[in-house]
Structure 1
Amino acid sequence: MKTEIISRVRIKPSSPTPPHLRRYKLSLLDQLAPPFYIPIVLFYTAKSDHQHHRSGSSSTDHKSQRLQSSLSKTLTRFYPLAGRIKDHLVDCNDEGIDYSEACASIHLSDFLLLPKLELILNQFLPLDAYNTMSSEQVPLAAVQVSYFKCGGMAIGVCVAHKIADGSTVAMFLNSWAAAFHNKSGSGDEEEAIIVPWLSSASVFPPKDLPVISLSGLTMNQKVVTRRFLFDAPKIAALRTQLIVKNGRTDNHPTRVEAVTALIWKYAKNIKRVKSRSKGVSLATHVVNLRKRMTPTAKIPENSFGNLWCSVAAEATTDESEEAELNSLASQ
């Protein structure tokens, strides 16, 4: 499978950013975020099996115009994405984000039968998401829309981690989707489209920190991405099997806890066999702070920026085969 780029444009906000909003402060957590992009690829099937994509067809042109127009409107609300980072702030100069369109050589259904992560990362994203941002002049976001032969499409989005986390990217995509589906331009549009809260620096003020390059830590190592599939009945059975002891009551773990415990257990076993030693084992998750702040009113659900922390659970003892999963799920 190959994708061929058919167009490249720069999308700018539909309305200019007011002068008093031109300087967007990065928060302390933004400063500490890695200089990579957050990559997301969304796949959409065609409404009908008879919709075949032809480059330049009227239906594709109409969809392309709506995607670009709604994206431009969304950038007026998420205006830091259209700016450029300078020192510890974003110059919201409305330079815009990169937007490209491509044609894929196969049907979406054929690709989804056995999706290859290498193809997703290399052909459906607008840029190399895991290469460090080496210049202050690079766009803070980029989009690639790829059309399949059947009429389906993939939308690949990369947003700079320096100004956004996963929740921010999801909020941006939901707002763009709402703008795309609103055709009437009525007052209801304002109710459906998310307006971000752009004041996270007031909660986590920035500090005068040196800029640390992570390129030497990542580019010299071989990084492998793998995909694991767990179907719903198997996860439900695993949850039923496990009991989490939280000090007050015994209950079943969440799906994330159950699957994490399972992967953690076998990772521990592999390490033990390879190193022939027990040692300390950690499982790490990234946690969204928006619902965990005290008081919670300080951080609204629609907060823009990096509002997360890394939390580790530690397992220092080896237990019986039967008790190990329960213990890891509890941790």
Structure 2
Amino acid sequence: MIDQKNSSELMKMKKMINMKQLELIQVSPMNSKSISEISLPLTYFDTPFLLGSPTEMLFFYSLPNIEITHFMNSLLPKLKHSLSLTLQHYYPLAGNLIWCPQLNQPVIRYVHGDSVELVAAESYANFDHLSSKNRTRYANDFQHLLPQLIIPSPNSSNAVPLLALQLTLFQNSGICIGLSQPHATGDGRSIAMFLKSWSLNSKFLGISTSFLLYDHQSLQIIPFFERTVLKNVSTRFQEAYFLHLVKFIRSKYSMSEHDCMNWLLASMEDLKVPPNHIAASFELSGTDIGRLKKWVTSRTNTSPSRFVLVFAYIWVCLAKATNVKTTRDDPKEGLMKASSVLSFADFRTRLDPPLPPTYFGNCVGEIVFSTKKGDLVGEDGLLVAVNLIVKELRGLDDTLVRDVDPGLANLMFPTGDVSEFDVIAGSTQFGFYELDFGLGRPKKVELASIAKTRAIFFADSGNGDGVEISLVRCKDEIDAFGLSFVNGLNDLSVTDLGRKSRL
């Protein structure tokens, strides 16, 4: 399965950036003998992500006194064992994405003996710099911390691993847990579920075995993999989408039908981290979000959710940041240009019948929000954004209640070129900053794959009701977004003071 040449070149690259591999481990699901083989088809929701960048995440944990002996003899065995415990319920993640000739489509296949590759490594980079929330970092500085989904060469077994993990030690500073997963095999909620299960198994290892599969609120997190629950969603659009996708792939990469799996490699190779791009994070505190809500509710009868408020504020900041140059060149034309953002809605509760909340796979659809920049950069821009988002989300529910297929078709085939949109991804419900492997909460969480996709990621910040917003851009774009972000909050303060003075 492993392309030794590619793996060797990868390690040479990592050595150049002061990193050393300590151990390469294959972790199999515990008690897996009862399951000999299982195949899961890709669903209507999985297929659109086949050409997307793998999901890549980094979790930094501050451990000021950690040394290599403790890391290798205590921490690594504990994380390895708890991973094996977790995989006995998430066993498909130890499998591969393969091409099924009978279906003429890729499927997820697990065979007894499959395993997850876990790399233990040591980095000599500056842990505090990489894990900082208050400074910008070059996006390329994170790449050596990410595990590689080893893509096979044309002469190998044509299988793409579903999960790769890396544990990196920073002596006397901390560790970083890195994850890579093909997006076509699971969305953000699925990844959060797996990580929550693994962290609970690690934290309570040796304390209680009956507690391991439940969180402190007694919410079951055993994954649900059954695909037949989607039988009420027609496969017609999935088949049409896939045929269109294959036609595009073969045309772009000049590949024959026998090379169907190799386009995964080709598409991933197209996605590189641009040189000199900067990763930056911004935080809306619980107080900031409260002020946003107060500002909106004082001008309308609605009481928008935290998700809608944060989404709207990001959109307004994007519009103001990108409007600087266009208004300088032609003020009127700049204000008339469209500001469009693409995001994703979770469909688990929107289908009829709904899917279990523990469904593992992709179950999100695309939604496009669009209006003129002039509507967003004005005094009431935030209100405009909130109203548009609420309207689109309400319309989405109405469409699906009336007719599932057309509603999903519109989401999978948004009008226009996706490159025209800014992509906003994430959720405040995943709880990434709550992942405690027995190491305390993460100091910093990074969705490293946004360096390749240019998506803007937001999630809970770990500070009360705060929300962290992350993006990777060139320095000028980061500066412009940061300026609009700070000025927008300052404008709220000025508005509040003005109202108090009039009273």
TM over 0.5: yes
CA distance in 2, matches of 1:275, 1:288: 39
Secondary structure of 1:29's partner?
coil
User: Residue 127 of structure 2 aligns to which amino acid in structure 1?
Assistant: L
Contact 2:40 2:107 in 1 (8 A): yes
Per-residue CA distance 1:132-185 (angstroms, 9 max, x = gap): 999842311100101112252110011111211111111010111111123145
CA distance in 1, matches of 2:278, 2:269: 14
In structure 1, what is the equivalent of residue 382 of structure 2? Answer: 325
Per-residue CA distance 1:198-222 (angstroms, 9 max, x = gap): 0245315765433345856982887
Pairing partner for 2:199 from 170, 177, 185: 177
Shift of 1:7: 1.3
Change (3 A) 1:17 1:291: farther
CA distance in 2, matches of 1:102, 1:323: 51
What is the aligned residue count? Answer: 321
Pairing partner for 1:314 from 362, 370, 377: 370
Pairing partner for 1:241 from 290, 295, 299: 295
Per-residue CA distance 1:22-67 (angstroms, 9 max, x = gap): 1222212112213431111111122xx4x2313xx14541111111
Alignment gaps of 5+ in structure 2: 1-16, 100-105, 250-262, 389-503
Contact 2:339 2:373 in 1 (8 A): no
In structure 1, what is the equivalent of residue 182 of structure 2? Answer: 160
Per-residue CA distance 1:55-101 (angstroms, 9 max, x = gap): xx145411111111111121121111111122332221142121101
| RMSD across aligned positions (CA) | 3.4
Shift of 1:250: 2.9
In structure 1, what is the equivalent of residue 346 of structure 2? Answer: 288
User: Residue 62 of structure 2 aligns to which amino acid in structure 1?
Assistant: T
Pairing partner for 1:12 from 28, 32, 35: 28
**Pairing 1:100–2:114 present:** no
CA distance in 2, matches of 1:25, 1:221: 29
Describe how 1:1-331 pairs up with structure 2 within 5 A: 2-16=18-32, 18-19=34-35, 22-35=38-51, 36-46=53-63, 49=64, 51-54=65-68, 57-58=69-70, 60-87=72-99, 88-93=106-111, 94-106=113-125, 108-113=127-132, 114=135, 116-119=137-140, 121-127=142-148, 136-182=158-204, 183-184=206-207, 186-192=209-215, 194-203=221-230, 204=233, 207-208=238-239, 209-210=242-243, 211=246, 212=249, 213=263, 215=266, 219=270, 223=274, 224=277, 226-232=279-285, 233-243=287-297, 249-252=301-304, 254=306, 255-270=309-324, 272-273=326-327, 276=330, 277=333, 278-295=336-353, 298-316=354-372, 318-319=374-375, 321-331=378-388
TM-score normalised over the length of structure 1: 0.82
User: Residue 229 of structure 1 aligns to which amino acid in structure 2?
Assistant: F
Secondary structure of 1:72's partner?
helix
User: Residue 9 of structure 1 aligns to which amino acid in structure 2?
Assistant: I
CA distance in 2, matches of 1:23, 1:252: 42
Structure with more helix by fraction: 2
Secondary structure of 2:164's partner?
strand
More displaced, 283-292 or 65-74? Answer: 283-292
Contact 1:244 1:251 in 2 (8 A): no
Secondary structure of 2:318's partner?
helix
Secondary structure of 2:181's partner?
strand
Contact 1:3 1:102 in 2 (8 A): yes
CA distance in 1, matches of 2:180, 2:298: 37
Secondary structure of 1:174's partner?
helix
Change (3 A) 1:275 1:222: farther
CA distance in 1, matches of 2:82, 2:130: 28
Change (3 A) 1:74 1:159: same
CA distance in 2, matches of 1:38, 1:105: 25
Percent of aligned positions with the same letter in both sequences? 19
Shift of 1:301: 1.0
Contact 1:245 1:330 in 2 (8 A): no
User: Residue 28 of structure 1 aligns to which amino acid in structure 2?
Assistant: Y
